[in-house]
Structure 1
Amino acid sequence: MYMPLFLVLTCSVAFSASAAQINTLSATECQAMTKVGVMAADAPVPCQRLKKVTFNYRDFAGKAHSNGQVVVMDAVAPYVGNIFDALYQQGFPIHKAVPIEVYGGDDTRSMTANNTSAFNYRPVAGTGSLSLHAYGAAIDLNPLQNPFVTFSGNGNVKFSPVQGTRYANRATYRYGKPDSRGMAEAVIDIFARNGFQYWGGFWDSPIDYQHFQLTKDMALTMSKMTPAQATSFFKRYVAWYDSCSKMYPTAYSHYKFNDYTEYLKNKLSVKSLHQAYSANPQRVMAAINQQPVRSAICVKR
């Protein structure tokens, strides 16, 4: 049967609006990650606890792609799928998204390629402390449009990647200038409502516009949990934000929120949730399994 050419072309880019796929990493993929240092035997989240999220996205020319991929912790994977589905539906452009082993685990190379990425067993830049990326609990979005900015003691400013200097001005609309697209400010709420409630663009020094994450305490706690426990915990975490944001819309629109871990620490009278879990996992899980009582603790004072 003859099909008009224009219809064939239309079908070739008509991806489903909600088509993110979540898959377990194969042994071959885990070996490839280990070979280039993206994974290691002493990583806090082993390869068996990671998931590959494959999603649709549109590039800056408006072309649709069905092969975007990030690797994240198992419990957060469905919500990461939701994030990228929402970005696709919104028409938010992404330059590319391939696992960072394509760049040998080199974050600088990945940023220079304007690659959106997630899991990478590495320290925070310039420190010996593990990054949230090492837990599969952080996502870097469009590094060119959302550079990592550091400040030296003598007042010098460094943008990574260097080409990101053209996005030093964070205004989307400027008189006489092309509209800026792909900047993280446009999608903070999408990330927050799916559990990635902390954005590096709110930091003072450094400023990490590309970076969305969980807290370190939460990532440590989830890494110690079983997959089922971590999934239950993260589900409660996302539901807490959703409910509290409806109760206190003004505060949440200004990002003045206490997340679910703050509620649990208050309930359990502890300062560290991951330490509390290590000491008594049954007590922490019992608190998580109880229906939370939302109150003014939703709001950061």
Structure 2
Amino acid sequence: MVNKRTVIGLLLCMVLALAGCRENTAPAKTAKEESQSKMNVVISETAADTGSETETAAGPKIENLDGLDAGTVISPEDIEGGELDNYFVSYTIDDDLFKRIYGLSYKEDCTIPREELRYLKVLHYGYDRQIYVGELMVNAELAGDFLEIFRALYENQYEIEKMLLVDDFGADDNWSIENNNTSAFNYRVSTLDGVTLSNHAFGRAIDINPLHNPYVTYYDWGMDTYFDESIPYMNREDSSLKHMINHEDLCCRLFIEHGFTWGGDWENPKDYQHFEKIE
């Protein structure tokens, strides 16, 4: 008769033998596989230090200004690495834009064919140092000049508080001025005589930061008057104020370099906000 202890001992040996087999079922790595494993560790460590080799540099999130409304704030990171020309663009006046301006800046009796006008989108710095989408309506012949000037102003972080079509203010110059808005085309008569067409009517004039750069008439007895006394213009005699255009100002220098004349050089009245180019 077989002893019970002997049977139990034999069973334990069998169990241990089976467990050992299971632990050693994985085949041993070949020399080639061992070498490849070590290489993968090195590549993994390198990627952790320098970033993935397949990762490419991130491009701008906003590649152009199409579809962006004027007044939109742009983050510098959203355009970093982008081609600057894509943010200073001239467009023809399509039907949707024409509907926006018709009856306002483009009066029903306007004699200027819309084909002679261009709609510009640009970037500019605001008084708050943020970057904004700006818009202008100008004469087609001067579109290149305006784009070059406003690109240079942007690159030098020149501050313009607002740059919206005057149509956003009902094509009312006073309302636009009260909002310190920079604008160009508006089919209207000249403030000089109230009869002849202004150069704004042809898209050949622009008014910049008008609250700091008013239209002023001087009289023989020493008095002066602003175009509209109800508008709170800034005091140009206060040298501590920024945004006042003079001959040393970058904006003035750029426009003059491009063949524009400055209203601040007129004898009487003086229109410090105004630049125009006739031919």
- Do both share a fold (TM > 0.5)? yes
Cross-structure match for 2:103: 35
In the aligned structure 2, how far is the partner of 1:181 from the partner of 1:127?
29
Matches within 5 A, 1:186-201: 186=249, 187-195=251-259, 197-201=260-264
Question: Partners in 2 of 1:11 and 1:165 — Cα distance?
Answer: 34
8 Å CA contact 2:89–2:122 kept in 1: the answer is yes
Instruction: Sort the Cα spacing of 1:200 and 1:128 in 2 relative to 1 into closer, same or farther, 3 A.
Output: same
1:134 aligns with 2:134: no
Superposed CA RMSD in Å reads 2.6
Deviations 1:156-206 (A, max 9, x none): 322246322422x2x7xx4xxx352353541222112223x2100001111
Select which of 26, 37, 46 maps to 2:94: 26
| In structure 2, C-alpha distance between the alignment counterparts of 1:70 and 1:31, rounded to whole Å | 16
1:91 and 2:160 aligned: no
Structure 2, unaligned runs of 5 or more:
1-51, 53-60, 62-74
With the length of structure 1 as denominator, give the TM-score of the two structures. Answer: 0.60
Aligned to 2:217: 150
Whole-Å separation in 2 of the counterparts to 1:25 and 1:184: 33
Q: Which residue of 2 aligns with 1:5?
A: none
Instruction: Give the equivalent residue in structure 2 for 1:81.
Output: 147
Q: What is residue 54 of structure 1 aligned with on the other side? A: 121
Q: Does 2:232 match 1:166? A: no
Q: Paired residue for 2:176?
A: 110
| Residues 10, 130 of structure 1: alpha-carbon distance in 2 compared, 3 angstrom cutoff | closer
Q: Larger deviation: 83-92 or 183-192? A: 183-192
User: Structure 1: 5+ residue runs without aligned partners?
Assistant: 2-7, 219-301
Distance 1:34 1:179, change over 3 A: closer
**Alignment of 1:208 onto 2:257:** no
| 1:180 pairs with one of 206, 217, 242 | 242
1:245-298 CA distance string (max 9 Å, x none): xxxxxxxxxxxxxxxxxxxxxxxxxxxxxxxxxxxxxxxxxxxxxxxxxxxxxx
**Counterparts of 1:182 and 1:85 in 2: how far apart (Å)?**
20
In structure 1, what is the Cα distance between the partners aligned to 2:269 and 2:151? Answer: 29
Q: Deviations over 1:2-56 (max 9, x none)?
A: xxxxxx96513647654311111121322332222x1135434211211111000
Deviations 1:125-172 (A, max 9, x none): 1520100000010111110111111235654322246322422x2x7x
Does the aligned pair in 1 maintain the 2:76–2:131 contact within 8 Å?
no
Taking a change above 3 Å as real, the CA distance of residues 123 and 10 of structure 1, as seen in their structure-2 partners, is: closer
Structure 1 residues 146 and 62, CA gap change in structure 2 (3 angstroms):
same
Once residues 205 and 131 of structure 2 are traced to their aligned partners in structure 1, the CA distance between those partners, rounded to angstroms, is 24
* Alpha-carbon distance between aligned partners in 2 of 1:16 and 1:160, rounded to the nearest angstrom: 41
Which of 187, 208, 232 is matched with 1:121 structurally? Answer: 187
Counterpart CA distance in 2 for 1:45 and 1:137 is: 12
Q: What letter is aligned with 1:188?
A: C
Higher helix share: 1
Q: Cα gap change, 1:40/1:46 in structure 2, threshold over 3 Å: closer, same or farther?
A: farther
Matches within 5 A, 1:221-240: none
Whether contact under 8 Å (1:45, 1:73) holds in the other structure is: no
Percent identity (aligned): 28
User: How much has 1:103 moved relative to structure 2?
Assistant: 0.9
Cα separation, 2, equivalents of 1:10 and 1:191: 26
Question: Cα 1:39–1:143, aligned 2, differ >3 Å: closer, same or farther?
Answer: same
Contact residue 184 and residue 207 of structure 2 kept, 8 A: yes
CA gap of 1:84–1:33, structure 2 versus 1, over 3 A, is same
Q: What are the equivalent positions in structure 2 for 1:226-265 lying under 5 Å apart? A: none
